[in-house]
Amino acid sequence: MTFEEFAQTRLPALLRYAVALTGERGLAEDVVQEVLVRVHARWRSVESLDQPDAYVRRMVVNEYLSWRRRWARFVPSASVSPPEPDTPDHATRHADRDALRAELGRLPARQRAVLVLRYYEGLTDPEIAEVLGCGASTVRGYATRALATLRVDPRTRDLVTEDR
């Protein structure tokens, strides 16, 4: 008998056994899954036993008991503290970043590159000039024009200086 055949025929019975043992369907599925992973790794030696089914049931018991010991150290808390009111909403941050990407997309490529290199990468004007192959005064001009374009929407202006 192959492992696949064994698992297919014995899985429903093992799950019923584990549910009776654990009292919870989800925990029983987790325990049986862990056991079957280990049985699969050692299938040749398990298959050669006189009663492989009894051996696997014993593995389920041992896994359940070790699972309880493992999780007994964690004490669930009944109360969940709400997020601090100053914490921005996760969805709002994504929406703001999408708006910033859209605004940056309106800029010419060199102006966009200057802003990304300055505010995202944290490079200085001479470093940006070296990357772009132009002068530092040209970099300052690109930055000035790009920021002037972005300042049309005051909300976007704040996003440009926001941390990554």
pLDDT tens column, 54-99: 899 989 988 888 876 665 555 556 676 776 777 667 788 788 878 8
Residues 9 and 51 in one domain: yes
User: Does the residue 79 lie in any domain?
Assistant: no
User: Does the residue 76 lie in any domain?
Assistant: no
Return the percentage of the chain with pLDDT > 70, whole number. Answer: 82
User: Does the residue 33 lie in any domain?
Assistant: yes
What b/e sequence results for 106-132 when a residue is b if at least 16 CB atoms lie within 10 Å of its CB, and e otherwise? Answer: ebeebbbbbbebbbeeebebeebbeee
Residues 67 and 13 in one domain: yes
Q: Categorize the per-residue pLDDT at 156 as very low, low, confident or very high, splitting at 50, 70 and 90.
A: very low
CATH value at residue 124: 1.10.10.10
With H, G, I as helix, E, B as strand and everything else as coil, classify residue 123. coil
Residue 49 Rama label (left phi>0; alpha psi -120 to 50; beta): beta
Predicted structure pTM score: 0.44
